Homo-oligomer: A and B are copies of this chain.
Amino acid sequence: MRPFDDTPLSRDGKVLILAYDHGLEHGPVDFEDVPETMDPETVWDVATHDAVTGFAVQKGVAEAYADQYDDVNLLLKLNGTSNLWMGEPDSAVNCSVDYAAELGASSVGFTLYGGSNNEIEMAEEFRDAQETAREHDLPVVMWSYPRGQGLKNDTSPGTIAYAARQALELGADVAKVKYPGSKEAMEHAVEAAGPTKVVMSGGSKTSDEDFLTTVSDAIDAGAVGLAVGRNVFQRENPREMLDALEAVIFEEASVEDALDYL
């Protein structure tokens, strides 16, 4: 009943999610450094890279392009909210699972802000989405991001492990969690998630080598892959970075070898 292995989200059991919902979550300001990335087409083109097993976008961006990009593995992000609103963390369900399936999604994504005053409501929305996704055999990725109220350091090892576990308990197939700062902490989160796969979100922004090293460490720690956004699509050479990530994630290349792609 837990779809993953035979779906496009998995390539030999590994995952690389290219996230492109910044326009909703942060607004156009996120595209300022590389203005052409504001045009979804630019990033859809990047998403055609074989390494991308899930291209995470909101409904509107999917509707407008999915037909033209049959070779892109669409991960429909079901909820999301602007940062114009600044209350206790919450997220609107912007797309039904049935409609995501109609748009050709091969997986769906859902944010849960554990610890928020809205956690109960979000968990119940997740339930509906997850159970409907099961009917469509769509794997479910949980953006498991503890946030709100008393949660100050939301990347502490304990919090990230809890986030990973919550994804398992509630029925996500994949948990997308922040990098908890060390390989050991990532191992702990991976163990906490048990049969739910873990992908690391974000990572170091310093040098290419540091970034790839973090990804490699996460894979070594048992994560099945990475969810990445601006670190890929806002580079001058996004496809080359995807080549490098492909090497690290799918081909167990060393960081040294992977750096050759850049």
Contact = CB atoms under 8 A, between A and B. Distances in A.
A95 B23 CA distance: 29
A94 B96 CA distance: 18
Given A2-B63, A192-B28, A194-B38, A81 B169 contact: no
A253 interface: no
A107 interface: no
Interface string A167-190: 111111000000000000000100
A94 B162 contact: no
Contact of A119 (B92, B119, B159): B92
A71 interface: no
A64 interface: yes
A13 interface: no
Interface in A120-150: 120-121, 123-124, 126-127, 130-131, 134, 146, 148-150
A106 interface: no
A90 B162 CA distance: 19
Contact of A60 (B24, B29, B171): B171
Q: How many copies does the complex hold?
A: 5
Q: Interface range on chain A: under 10, 10 to 19, 20 to 34, or 35 or more? A: 35 or more
Interface string A190-231: 011011100000000000000000000000000000000000
Contact of A23 (B1, B24, B146, B168): B168
Contact of A67 (B1, B60, B65): B1
B94 A123 contact: yes
Nearest to A117: B87
Contacts of A239: none
Contacts of A39: 191, 194
A23 B1 CA distance: 21
A224 B148 CA distance: 41
Contact of A95 (B61, B90, B127): B127
A96 B195 CA distance: 21
Interface string A47-91: 000000000001111011101000000000000111011110011
A171 B115 contact: no
A124 B148 CA distance: 21
8 contacts: A38-B192, A59-B171, A60-B170, A81-B119, A84-B114, A85-B120, A87-B149, A90-B120
Ranked nearest first, the 9 interchain pairs of A and B with the lowest CB-CB distance are A84-B115, A92-B123, A24-B169, A60-B171, A27-B162, A64-B195, A58-B169, A28-B192, A23-B165
